[in-house]
């Protein structure tokens, strides 16, 4: 915004008001449709990133919920299988919170978390049920592990996928001409000219800042927190005491 205002002040000093007034007939009809189009594009982009943010949050909550279900369903299994599955579930929650969540800010993932998930799946596959109850539990555990792994893959994809580059190009290439056309308004009073420019620029900057902040759900100041995993981890710790 400061750059835009400084540019207007420079234009007012270098270009006479009478010369700028001659552009009113050209600038005024262009500013209205251009600002409308840009406003629609910014609103559309904000809607997209907000949807992606909410979807990423739901995905994380679903993954943590399935991890908790795996842990609690293991209570009904024989002692050795129960201890192994519950220990793997506790380890996975801890690694995701402490190691993988910071890595996702750079679009990376934890190899240790993948190793725990793979071991959890192998542990479920190795178990051979001997009763109908154990068979039902085993089928349920297989489904839960598969669903949790799908949620995990989806979460990792969401941590790397932003809005298309072409949309950023469109937003930026539309913002600069709109601000430039406001310079052509032939207002003699500088303060009166600064006010509409400041309003237009602030709306554009706020919109672009919102899009950038929400573009990657697991990065930046506005990011999906590992709250669901922390809640699950606290329940695991309480159960083990």
Check if the beta carbon of residue 100 is closer than 8 Å to that of residue 110.
Answer: yes
- Token pair, residue 30, equals 């262009």
Distance CA 129, CA 37 (A): 62
Q: What is the pTM of this model?
A: 0.82
pLDDT at 137: 85
Express each pLDDT in 136-181 by its tens digit: 888 899 999 999 999 999 999 999 888 888 989 989 888 888 887 7
Residues ≥6 apart with Cβ < 8 Å to 15: none
Distance CA 177, CA 185 (A): 13
Distance CA 233, CA 139 (A): 24
Percent pLDDT > 90 in the chain is 45
Distance CA 108, CA 54 (A): 20
Distance CA 193, CA 183 (A): 8
Express each pLDDT in 89-117 by its tens digit: 999 999 999 999 999 988 899 999 999 99
Q: Write a three-state SS string for 42-66.
A: HHHHHHHHHHHHHHHHHHHHHHHHH
In terms of DSSP H, where are the helices of 105-189? 111-126, 132-158, 165-183
Among left, alpha and beta (phi > 0; psi -120 to 50; other), residue 15 is beta
Total length of the chain: 241
Q: Where are the domains of the chain?
A: 66-162
Q: Which H or E run includes 213?
A: helix 190-215
Among left, alpha and beta (phi > 0; psi -120 to 50; other), residue 220 is left
pLDDT at 194: 80
Check if the beta carbon of residue 155 is closer than 8 Å to that of residue 56.
Answer: yes
Express each pLDDT in 181-217 by its tens digit: 777 776 677 777 788 788 888 889 999 999 998 989 9
pLDDT at 96: 96
Residue in 151, 153, 154 with CA at minimum distance from that of residue 143:
151
- Token pair, residue 33, equals 């449709």
Express each pLDDT in 225-238 by its tens digit: 999 999 999 998 88
């Amino acid at each position: 915004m400061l750059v835009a205002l400084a540019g207007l002040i420079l234009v007012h000093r270098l270009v006479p008001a009478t010369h700028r007034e001659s552009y009113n007939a050209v600038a005024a009809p262009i500013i209205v449709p251009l600002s409308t189009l840009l406003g629609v594009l910014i609103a559309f982009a904000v809607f997209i990133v907000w949807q992606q943010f909410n979807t990423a949050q739901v995905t994380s909550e679903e993954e943590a919920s399935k991890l908790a279900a795996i842990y609690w369903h293991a209570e009904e299994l024989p002692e050795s299988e129960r201890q192994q599955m519950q220990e793997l579930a506790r380890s996975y929650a801890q690694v995701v919170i402490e190691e993988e969540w910071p890595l996702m800010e750079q679009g990376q993932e934890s190899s240790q978390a993948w190793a725990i998930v793979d071991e959890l799946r192998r542990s479920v596959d190795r178990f051979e049920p001997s009763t109908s109850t154990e068979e039902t539990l085993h089928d349920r555990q297989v489904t839960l592990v598969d669903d949790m792994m799908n949620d995990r893959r989806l979460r990792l994809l969401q941590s790397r996928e932003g809005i298309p580059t072409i949309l950023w190009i469109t937003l930026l290439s539309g913002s600069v001409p709109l601000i430039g056309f406001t310079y052509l308004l032939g207002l003699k009073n500088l303060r009166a000219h600064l006010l509409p420019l400041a309003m237009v620029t602030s709306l554009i900057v706020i919109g672009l800042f919102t899009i950038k902040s929400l573009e990657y759900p697991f990065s930046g100041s506005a990011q999906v927190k590992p709250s669901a995993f922390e809640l699950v981890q606290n329940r695991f710790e309480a159960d083990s005491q």
